[in-house]
Amino acid sequence: MSNKIVIITGANSGLGFETAKYFVSKEDTVIMAVRTVSKGESAKKDLLQLFPKGQVQVMKLDLASLSSVRAFAEEFSKKYERADLLINNAGVMVPPYTKTEDGFELQFGSNHLGHFALTGLLLPLLEKGEHSRVVTLSSIAHRSGVIQFDNLDGSKGYKAMKFYSQSKLANLLFAKELDDRLKENGYKTISVAAHPGVSSTNLFKIGKESTPWYIKPLMKLIAQPAEQGALSTIMAATDGTLEGGEYIGPDGRGNRTGKPAIEVPKAAVYHKETMKKLWSVSEELTSVDFSFKK
Catalytic residues, which ones? 164
Q: CB–CB of 197/226 below 8 Å? A: no
CA-atom Rg of the chain in angstroms = 18
The three state secondary structure string of the chain is CCCCEEEEECCCCHHHHHHHHHHHHCCCEEEEEECCHHHHHHHHHHHHHHCCCCEEEEEECCCCCHHHHHHHHHHHHHHCCCCCEEEECCCCCCCCCCECCCCCEHHHHHHHHHHHHHHHHHHHHHHCCCCCEEEEECCHHHHHCCCCCCCCCCCCCCCHHHHHHHHHHHHHHHHHHHHHHHHHCCCCCEEEEECCCCEECHHHCCCCCCCCCCCHHHHHHHCEEHHHHHHHHHHHHHCCCCCCCCEEEECCHHHCCCCEEECCCCHHHCCHHHHHHHHHHHHHHHCCCCCCCC
- How many Cβ atoms from other residues are within 10 Å of residue 162's Cβ? 17
Q: Which of 193, 184, 180, 16 is nearest to 92 (CA)?
A: 16
